[in-house]
């Protein structure tokens, strides 16, 4: 890529704030949220939502818990006007929810907006005026004073129409467009003039929305602008400072979080960040970031898969696989070291109970808190490790493999994934585990077995076996069935080994109502080899595990 042409681009300059306070702030409460999915989000779609789709999205936003929802630009099109009227006339706006509409500072559009909102219980009229130098000079061709006067004149008209329509609780929101690129002292001047024209007070505050419509600098520069604005505003209690962040530099979430630290009270954004160009602020991410720190976000995101389903269907957009919370792969680990750490963290948490501190490596929140499943946390491919395979076998099928067995099983399954070049499904992992470790019957097969006590801690076993297809009846003594069977096998001279480890448990999930046993043997040349046995009878499961281990040792 060539170097930037000389003089074509320039560094972003912002306010000088040497005694900034925001770096020491802590986000300990949620802001007021305002969804703009139905306006900013909708206007960004290749195929805008129809009225029925907008109604479904509106109902979803209400269920999530948004109390302020920008429903559109009713003076801009008949569809937007019709949608606004349907919400009001069909009484679809729940108690406590305020609808918000956007309008330019033009008289006929403002009057049309009030016509659309007739009969609403609560409404925010969102007025915006271009204030940054490029738009003042290129788009409007107006001076600073003329732009300020346009905003003030429009505010006075809105105030007049609000007073003429007393049946609605009217609020005003004003956006100096684009705040981030406007001289900050001039943006303050215009906002204070609008506030005065509205008659803003602590009892009747104006919403001053400071849009980062185009990300021009790093998030810290945005925070400096917001703090400077808040500290220089004449009557801070008479204003609600709102953020409206886009994502041109890929840092919209960071800019919003730092803007809240700098003193903002309110956030506008969309579900999953749908918006013009690179998108609007992703409210889901900011809300769940707060949640991950123990802060109640004030939004119900407990069924995020359902929210995503409605969003994708109505907008025809797709949530990326790596979206921080809703993506298909964000709670998934393929890496072996990640899988091992997650498995250990999940096991420790299981011992601590449901109220234990969430401290699972690599997972910032519990997937179940947002309606996600543990089943997809660990997925297996050629990069996966021993702990990941063991986690899948335990969480999906109930096999609680001894830790020392993990490497053997992981190596076998990993080799299959590498050979196929594919991710393995849980069922495929189980099939490979059974094929390689469970109830193996060649060259040694256990055909029947019984035992009799000989006295304290001694048993006699009789076992019918097949060795390379030839049948034999073996007898042996030991302090238990497995020990006695080992002695019987060793007496034949077919192989030499020593019993090293034995574990067993009931299978608590999966299709089999059985027991699983795991046996480790040490071969003559010092190798440790594991086998697994599964049978409704836990004693037979142990014997089958021993047979499986012997067979695996002979195949190696």
Q: What is the DSSP string of 346-383?
A: HHHHHHH-TTS----TT-SS-GGGGT--GGGSB-BSTT
Average pLDDT of the segment spanning 142-159: 97
Residue 333 has pLDDT above 80, yes or no: no
Residue 271 has pLDDT above 90, yes or no: yes
Average pLDDT of the segment spanning 100-114: 97
Using only C-alpha atoms, the chain has a radius of gyration, in whole angstroms, of 34
Average pLDDT of the segment spanning 315-339: 85
Residue 249 has pLDDT above 80, yes or no: yes
State the pLDDT confidence band at 410, using cuts at 50, 70 and 90. Answer: confident
Residue 354 has pLDDT above 80, yes or no: no
Instruction: Please state, in angstroms and as integers, the Cα–Cα distance from residue 321 to each residue in 202, 309, 328, 332, 538, following that order.
Output: 44, 14, 5, 10, 43
**Backbone dihedral region of 331: left (phi > 0), alpha (psi from -120 to 50 degrees) or beta?**
alpha
Average pLDDT of the segment spanning 185-211: 98
Q: Cα separation of 290 and 285, whole Å?
A: 9
Residue 278 has pLDDT above 90, yes or no: yes
State the pLDDT confidence band at 509, using cuts at 50, 70 and 90. Answer: low
- Per residue, what are the HEC states of 382-451? CCCCHHHHHHHHHHHHCCCCCHHHHHHHHHHHHHHHHHHCCCECHHHHHHHHHHHHECCCCCEEEEEEEE
CA 307 to the chain's CA centroid: 12
Q: Cα separation of 37 and 58, whole Å?
A: 9
Q: Cα separation of 384 and 368, whole Å?
A: 23
* Domains observed in the chain: 31-315 (3.20.20.70), 336-437 (no CATH), 444-555 (3.30.160.270)
pLDDT recorded at residue 158 = 98
pTM to 2 decimal places = 0.76
pLDDT recorded at residue 7 = 85
Question: Which of 223-237, 305-319, 320-334, 500-514 bottoms out in mean pLDDT, i.e. has the lowest?
Answer: 500-514
Q: Cα separation of 232 and 226, whole Å?
A: 10
Q: Cα separation of 252 and 117, whole Å?
A: 31
Question: Which residues sit opposite 241 in a β-bridge?
Answer: 208
Q: How many CB atoms lie within 10 A of CB 355?
A: 5
Residue 384 has pLDDT above 70, yes or no: no
Question: Which of 208-222, 332-346, 406-420, 493-507 bottoms out in mean pLDDT, i.e. has the lowest?
Answer: 332-346
Q: Cα separation of 489 and 256, whole Å?
A: 71
CB 326 within 8 A of CB 288: no
Give me the DSSP letters along 253-318. HHHHHHHHHTT--EEEEBGGG--STT-B-BHHHHHHHHHTTT---SS--TTHHHHHHHHHHHH---
State the pLDDT confidence band at 380, using cuts at 50, 70 and 90. Answer: low
Q: HSE of 69 in the Cβ direction (CA atoms, 13 Å)?
A: 27
């Amino acid at each position: 890529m060539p170097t930037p042409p000389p003089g074509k681009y320039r560094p972003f300059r912002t306010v000088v704030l040497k005694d900034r306070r925001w770096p020491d702030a802590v986000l300990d409460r949620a802001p007021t949220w305002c969804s703009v999915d139905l306006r900013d989000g909708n206007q960004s779609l290749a195929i805008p939502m129809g009225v029925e789709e907008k109604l479904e999205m509106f109902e979803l936003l209400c269920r999530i818990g948004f109390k302020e929802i920008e429903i559109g630009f009713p003076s801009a099109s008949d569809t937007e006007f019709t949608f606004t009227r349907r919400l009001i006339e069909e009484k679809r706006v729940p108690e406590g929810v305020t609808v918000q509409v956007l309008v330019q500072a033009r008289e006929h559009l403002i009057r049309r907006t009030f016509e659309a909102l007739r009969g609403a219980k609560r409404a925010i009229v969102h007025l915006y005026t271009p204030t940054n130098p490029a738009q003042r000079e290129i788009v409007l061709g107006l001076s600073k004073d003329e732009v300020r006067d346009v905003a003030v004149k429009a505010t006075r008209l809105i105030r007049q129409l609000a007073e003429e329509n007393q049946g609605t609780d009217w609020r005003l929101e004003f956006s100096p467009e684009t705040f981030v690129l406007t001289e900050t002292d001039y943006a303050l001047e215009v906002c204070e003039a609008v506030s005065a024209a509205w008659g803003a007070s602590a009892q009747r505050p104006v919403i001053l929305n400071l849009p980062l419509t185009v990300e021009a600098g790093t998030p810290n520069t945005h925070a400096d602008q917001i703090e400077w604005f808040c500290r220089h505003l004449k009557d801070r209690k008479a204003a609600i400072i709102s953020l409206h962040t886009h994502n041109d530099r890929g840092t919209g979430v960071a800019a919003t979080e730092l803007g809240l630290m700098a003193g903002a009270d309110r956030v506008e954004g969309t579900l999953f960040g749908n918006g013009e160009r690179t998108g609007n602020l992703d409210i889901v991410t900011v809300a769940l970031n707060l949640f991950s720190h123990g802060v109640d976000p004030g939004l119900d995101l407990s069924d995020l898969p359902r929210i995503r389903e409605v969003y994708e269907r109505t907008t025809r957009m797709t949530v990326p696989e790596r979206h921080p919370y809703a993506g298909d792969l964000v709670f998934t680990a393929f890496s072996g070291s990640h899988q091992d750490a997650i498995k250990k963290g999940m096991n420790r948490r299981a011992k601590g109970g449901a109220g234990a501190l969430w401290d699972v490596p690599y997972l910032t929140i519990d997937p179940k808190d947002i309606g996600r499943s543990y089943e997809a946390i660990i997925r297996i491919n050629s990069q996966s490790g021993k702990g990941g395979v063991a986690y899948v076998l335990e969480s999906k099928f109930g096999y609680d493999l001894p830790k020392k067995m993990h490497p053997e099983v992981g190596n076998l399954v990993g080799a299959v994934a590498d050979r196929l070049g594919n991710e393995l499904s849980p069922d495929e992992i189980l099939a490979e585990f059974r094929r390689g470790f469970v109830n193996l019957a060649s060259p040694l097969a256990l055909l029947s077995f019984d035992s009799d006590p000989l006295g304290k801690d001694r048993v006699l076993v009789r076992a019918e076996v097949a060795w390379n297809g030839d049948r034999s009846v073996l007898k042996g003594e030991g302090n238990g069935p497995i020990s006695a069977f080992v002695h019987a096998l060793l007496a034949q001279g077919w192989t030499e080994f020593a019993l090293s480890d034995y574990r067993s448990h009931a299978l608590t999930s999966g299709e089999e109502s059985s027991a699983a046993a795991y046996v480790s043997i040490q071969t003559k040349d010092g190798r440790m080899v594991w086998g697994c046995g599964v049978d409704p009878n836990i004693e037979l499961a142990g014997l089958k595990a021993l047979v499986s281990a012997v067979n695996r040792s002979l195949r190696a």
